[in-house]
Amino acid sequence: QCTLRCPVGALIERPDWHRVLEVLDDRKRKTIVQTAPATRVAISEEFGLEPGTISTGRMINALRQLGFDYVTDTNFSADLTIMEEANELLQRVQGKREGALPLFTSCCPGWINYVEIHRPDLIPHLSTTKSPQQMHGAMARNGPLAKLIAEETEEEPFIVSIMPCTAKKDEAVRPGNRGDIDAVITTRELAKMIRHRNIPFASLSNDGKYDSPMGDSSGAAAIFGASGGVLEAALRTAADALGLDGPIEHEGIRGVERGVKVATIEGLGSVAAVSSIGSAIDLLSNDEWKKKFLMIEVMTCPGGCLGGGGEPKSDDKDILKKRMKGIYNIDSSSTIRKSHENKEVQQLYDNFLGSPLSETSERLLHTTYAARGSPREKLSQFLGAVDVRDH
Ligand code: SF4
């Protein structure tokens, strides 16, 4: 299992769960929590359930027992990410938007840090869309849910993310993101909070439901937790936008193995999903990638977020496969499997954002990147490969 691969944020990871419990106990501020795609499967292992068990409802019920006022889903914002990113891809292809092709995905902070520190020449290729975590924070802070809360209290809500990823703590304090998320805790930290409060997770009913708004999601959002998932979700939406026939599932870019997985979509081109930073470095070692691909997803953890540094530790050599199976089962059993068919996302565009890449969307849902290669940052990234994070 990959607990060593989140290349930045590792050394500066700090436990935040005590601070979150204090805010929950204090009850002075409304609290909003979001749960990342990979967390709902991996949390099961912390409480003795079979690896791969889908515990979405149990996790929601546990979060309510912990005292969160609004339990929302990062998967909602994964769908929102696809709306922005797929449209960005199409506009770059049509020459209507600045930026280079192939388009690199931008939802993995380990990858963003690598580009900014080691390969700033690739910045024009990065999608400007914020990650689902940050889009969720921006929407919770400024969108319809914020308006709802403002009717009850003048205090700003306290917004918490549950992430499979140690580097997400670093992402939340990047310039341009700061202030949207108040605390990021990992799946392991959530398990500590649940144990600390003696909540019997394994025997909780698995029927909890997310709040609305910001609780609905598609199967496409669920697969963000696995390597190749962001790309597959984007392909589903881009293919529909172009009126292309094709399969909804893209087996060629699925799987937890390190390396480069490729799919070719007739009428669109070839795309690649890169699993692990070592595989990305290999791919980028010559310029072939520029000629071959239209879009490239990079996840620095082998297998994607389901193998993230904040996930439970395991000695099971098949653990990533088991988690992946759980994640793809969520997708295949979803009624809605394409991000653009998410009704809550459609309402958000109708009532608040206008359209993908609108002025409001650009202001709240997009970001910028900059080269930053100080020796200290390079050293921090190098040392990030050492697992010193457990506490
Ligand atoms: Fe974090 Fe996922 Fe990237 Fe790993 S692959 S660094 S868990 S976002």
Q: In the chain, how many H helices and how many E strands?
A: 17, 8
Spatial separation of the C-alpha atoms in residues 390 and 107, rounded to whole Å: 24
- pLDDT of 10 reads 42
C-beta 227 within 6 A of ligand 1: no
Cβ 378 vs Cβ 2: under 8 Å: no
Please tell me what DSSP assigns to residue 175. T
C-beta 78 within 6 A of ligand 1: no
**How far is CA 20 from each of CA 25, 153, 204, 229, 333, rounded to the nearest angstrom?**
9, 20, 22, 30, 33
- pLDDT of 381 reads 57
Spatial separation of the C-alpha atoms in residues 67 and 69, rounded to whole Å: 6
The sheet that has 259-265: what strands, in order across it? 103-104, 295-299, 269-275, 259-265
C-beta 165 within 6 A of ligand 1: yes
How far, in Å, is the centroid of ligand 1 from the Cα of 282?
19
What is the number of the ligand 1 atom nearest to the C-alpha of 311? Answer: 7
Q: Where are the domains of the chain?
A: 17-367
- pLDDT of 58 reads 98
Which residue, by CA, sits nearest to atom 3 of ligand 1?
A: 108
| Continuous H helices in 53-166 | 56-66, 74-93, 109-118, 132-142, 144-150
Spatial separation of the C-alpha atoms in residues 236 and 63, rounded to whole Å: 32
Cβ 365 vs Cβ 130: under 8 Å: yes
Spatial separation of the C-alpha atoms in residues 114 and 369, rounded to whole Å: 12
Q: Is the dihedral of CA 42, 44, 49, 52 positive or negative?
A: negative
Q: Identify the three-state secondary structure at position 26.
A: helix
User: What is the best residue among 108, 327, 389 to mutate for testing ligand 1's pocket, by most ligand atoms within 8 Å of CB?
Assistant: 108
CA dihedral 184, 186, 190, 196 (to 10 degrees): -90
- pLDDT of 176 reads 86
C-beta 228 within 6 A of ligand 1: no
C-beta 302 within 6 A of ligand 1: no
Low pLDDT (below 50) residues in the chain: 1-12, 384-391
- pLDDT of 149 reads 97
How far, in Å, is the centroid of ligand 1 from the Cα of 299?
6
User: What is the best residue among 130, 305, 306 to mutate for testing ligand 1's pocket, by most ligand atoms within 8 Å of CB?
Assistant: 305
Write the DSSP string, 238-271. Answer: HHHHTT----S--GGG--SSSEEEEEEETTTEEE
- The values of phi and psi at residue 40, to 5°, are -65, -20
What is the number of the ligand 1 atom nearest to the C-alpha of 299? Answer: 5
- pLDDT of 178 reads 85
- pLDDT of 5 reads 43
What is the number of the ligand 1 atom nearest to the C-alpha of 300? Answer: 5
CATH number of 17-367: 3.40.50.1780
How far, in Å, is the centroid of ligand 1 from the Cα of 6?
6
How far, in Å, is the centroid of ligand 1 from the Cα of 167?
7
CA atoms within 13 A on the CB side of 380: 18
C-beta 6 within 6 A of ligand 1: yes
C-beta 183 within 6 A of ligand 1: no
How far, in Å, is the centroid of ligand 1 from the Cα of 300?
6
- pLDDT of 82 reads 98
The whole model's pTM is what?
Answer: 0.93
Please tell me what DSSP assigns to residue 149. H
